[in-house]
Amino acid sequence: MSHGPAPASGLYGLVAEFDSATALLDAANKVREAGFTKTDAFSPYPIHGLAEALGMKEHLVPKFVLAAGIFGALGGYGLEYWAQAIAYPMNIGGRPTFAWVSFIPPAFETTILCAAFTSAISMIVLNKLPQPYHPVFNAPRFSLASQDKFFLAIEAADPRFKLDDTRAFLNGLHAKEVVAVDE
C-alpha cells in the first residue's frame, strides 16, 4: 500500500473500495456533490443510477443505432431495386422487374444487421475499448472489481484533487480502504 504523497505527475488518482452497491452509490453521489468531475466507479455488475450519480449525461448509442437501421433499410432495398430493375432487368416468371413486395424480406434483414452491429460496435468504441492497460488496474485489490467488490476513483487530474484532503474525504465516505494509484 503506497502511503504518503506520490509525485503528482505519476499519480493517477485515489481509488476507494466499498463493500456494497449501496455504499458505492452513496459515495458516488457525495463525490459529485463535492464537485469532483474526473471520477469513475467500478462494479462487478451494472448498478442502476450509478452513472447518473457520477454525472453522466451521454445517450449516443441509441441515436447511432437508429441511423444505422435507416441506412440498412434504404441501402438494402435500394440495392435490390438497382440490381433488378436498373443494372440487369430480366423477365423472371412474368413478374415485373421491380416487384416491390419481394424486396421487403432482404431489406428487413439488412436493417437488423446494420442496427445490431452498430449497437455493439458503438458501445465498444464509445467505451474506448479495447483498452488493455488502464491505471486503475494498478490498484492492488482491483481484480475483485469483477467479482464482488466495488470501487470509486477520483483522478489526480481533477482540479479539486488534493491528495490528503481527498483521501480524508473518501475515508469519510466509509470506504473500506483508500489507495493512491500511479499512472
Partner 1 sequence: MTLSAIRSRLAGLEGRSYWRSLDEAADTPEFRAYVEREFPEQASEFNDPAGRRQFLKLMGASLALAGVGACTRQPPEKIVPYVRQPEEIIPGRPLFFATAMPQGGIGLPLLAENHMGRPTKLEGNPEHPASLGATDVLAQASVLTLYDPDRSRTIIGRGEVKTWGSFLAAMQLLLGPKRSNGGAGLRLLTEPISSPSVLEQIDALLTTFPQAKWHQWDPVYGVVQGGSAASSALYRFEKADVVLALDADFMGFGPASVRYTKDFTSRRRGANPEHPNRLYVVEPTPTVTGSTADHRLALKARDIYPFAAALAGALGVAGAAPAGELPEEARAKWLPALAADLRAHRGAAVVVAGESQPAAVHALARAINEAIGAVGTTVTYGAPVVGSPVDGAASIAQLVADMNAGSVDALLIVGTNPIFTAPGDLDFRAAFDKVANRVHVGLYHDETAELCHWHVNEAHYLESWGDVRAFDGTVSLIQPLIAPLYDGHTLLEILANLNGTSGQSSLDLTKAYWTRAFGGQTKTAWTLRDAKGQAFTTVDAFWRHALHDGFVASTSGFTSTSQPAAASTTASAAQTAPAAAAPAAPAAMTGTEIIFRPDPYILDGRNANNGWLQELPKPISKITWDNVAFISPRTAERLGVPVTRSGNQNQAVLSISYQGRKASIPAWVQPGTADDVVVVHFGYGRKRAGRVGSNVGHDVFGLRSSRAPWFDGGAEVSNSGEGYYIASTQNHFAMEGRHPVRIVDVEELKKNPKAVEEQGAEKPPAALSLYPVYEYPHHKWGMAIDLNACTGCSACVIACVAENNIPVVGKSQVARTREMHWIRVDTYFGGDPAKPDGPHHQPVPCQQCENAPCEVVCPVAATVHSDEGLNDMVYNRCVGTRYCSNNCPYKVRRFNFLLYQDFVTPELMAQRNPDVTIRSRGVMEKCTYCVQRINHARIDEKTTGRAIQDGDIKTACQQVCPADAIVFGDLNDPKSRVVELKATERNYGLLDDLGTRPRTTYLAKVRNPNPALE
Partner 2 sequence: MEASQFPKDDFRAPLPVIAPGYTSRSITEKLTGIVLTKHTPVAWFFVTAVAFMLLMGLTVSLAYLLAKGIGIWGNNVPVGWAFDIINFVWWIGIGHAGTLISAILLLFKQDWRTSINRFAEAMTLFAVACAALFPLVHTGRPWLAIYWLFPYPNAMTLWPNFKSPLIWDVFAVTTYGSVSALFWFVGLIPDLATFRDRAAHPGLKKLFGFLALGWRGSARHWFRYETAYLLLAGLSTPLVLSVHTVVSFDFAVSVIPGWHATIFPPYFVAGAIYAGFAMVLTLAIPLRVMFKVEDFITMRHIENMAKITLVTGLVVVYGYACEAFFGWYSGNEYERFMLKNRTYFGPYAWSYWLLLICNFIVPQLLWSKRLRRNIPIVFVVCMFINVGMWLERFVIIVTSLHRDFLPSSWQMYYPTIWDFMTLAGTIGLFLTLMFLFVRVLPMISIFEMRTLLPGAAPKHGADEKGGVH
Residue partners of 46: CB distance under 8 A and separation at least 6: none
Within 50-79, which residues bind partner 2 (CB under 8 A)?
A: 50-51, 53-54, 56, 58-59, 61-62, 65, 79
DSSP state, 82? Answer: I
Three cell numbers written together for 16: 476507494
Contact window for partner 1 (CB under 8 A) among 26-34, 58-66, 85-93, 118-126: 85-93
Q: How far is it, in rounded angstroms, from Cα 83 to Cα 94?
A: 17
Does position 99 interact with partner 1 (CB under 8 A)? The reply is: yes
Residue 91's binding partner out of partner 2, partner 1, none, with CB under 5 to 8 Å set by partner kind: partner 1
Residue 79's binding partner out of partner 1, partner 2, none, with CB under 5 to 8 Å set by partner kind: partner 2
Q: Estimate the crossing angle of helix 60-81 against helix 104-126, to 10 degrees.
A: 150
Using CB under 8 A as the criterion, which residues of the chain lie in contact with partner 1 when the complex forms? 90-96, 99
